[in-house]
Amino acid sequence: MPDTTASPRIPHPGDIGSPLRTCLTAILLMAPASLSLAQTAIANNHVRVEISGTIRAKIPCIINNNKPIDIPFGDVQISRIDGKQYKITQIRYTLDCRRAQSYPLNMKISGEGASFNPKLLGIPSQSSLGIALRRDTTLLALNDWFSLTAASPPKLEAVLVAHSEGTITGGEFSASATMVVDYQ
């Protein structure tokens, strides 16, 4: 009786079609690199995830329509500077806090203090002259926060203060500060 079992025929490499051979070759060549990356991720037990975005908060208050606040003292007589009454200048500004009606508000005026009194705004060209800031006639310390209500912004004033032991020279002067309104 003839043998009816047949052994499977293993094709000769030359028998496999060219496109199939190219595909198998590419898979075999890429497998070690893929395994290496997978093994590295498993071995390290972590993968880096990057998250980014933009947070945009509504601006609760707009100070002076985003324009500089000018405080002109005009001509000043050195001998009359008393730090109390002479050349009291109102700080004219607007404060629009319609979007912050329900939040507690704070304000500060920040800047470089005078060398003889850090609570006063310093004038760089005049080491013996400073500017006192007042809220409704009460002295404000430079760089200190105070509370306010959006419905009634504080009346702010500036007044020149001379150092009792210093010398003030004639000429133009200027100083700068930043008004900040914050909410909680």
Write the pLDDT tens digit of every residue in 42-60. Answer: 556 767 777 877 665 666 7
Task: Label residue 40 by pLDDT band (50, 70, 90).
Answer: low
Q: Which residues have CB under 8 Å from 180's CB, separation 6+?
A: 107, 108, 109, 110
CA distance 75 to 72: 9
Average pLDDT, the chain: 79
131 within 8 A of 159, measured Cβ to Cβ: yes
DSSP at 15? G
123 within 8 A of 76, measured Cβ to Cβ: no
Mean pLDDT, residues 64-84 taken together: 92
Edge-to-edge strands, sheet with 146-148: 146-148, 105-110, 178-183
Q: Could you tell me which residue, 94 or 8, shows the higher pLDDT?
A: 94
Mean pLDDT, residues 88-104 taken together: 87
Q: Which residues pair with 50 in a beta bridge?
A: none
- Token pair recorded at residue 53: 């975005």
Query: What's the predicted TM-score (pTM) here?
Result: 0.67
Q: Could you tell me which residue, 183 or 88, shows the higher pLDDT?
A: 88
Whether residue 34 has pLDDT greater than 80:
no
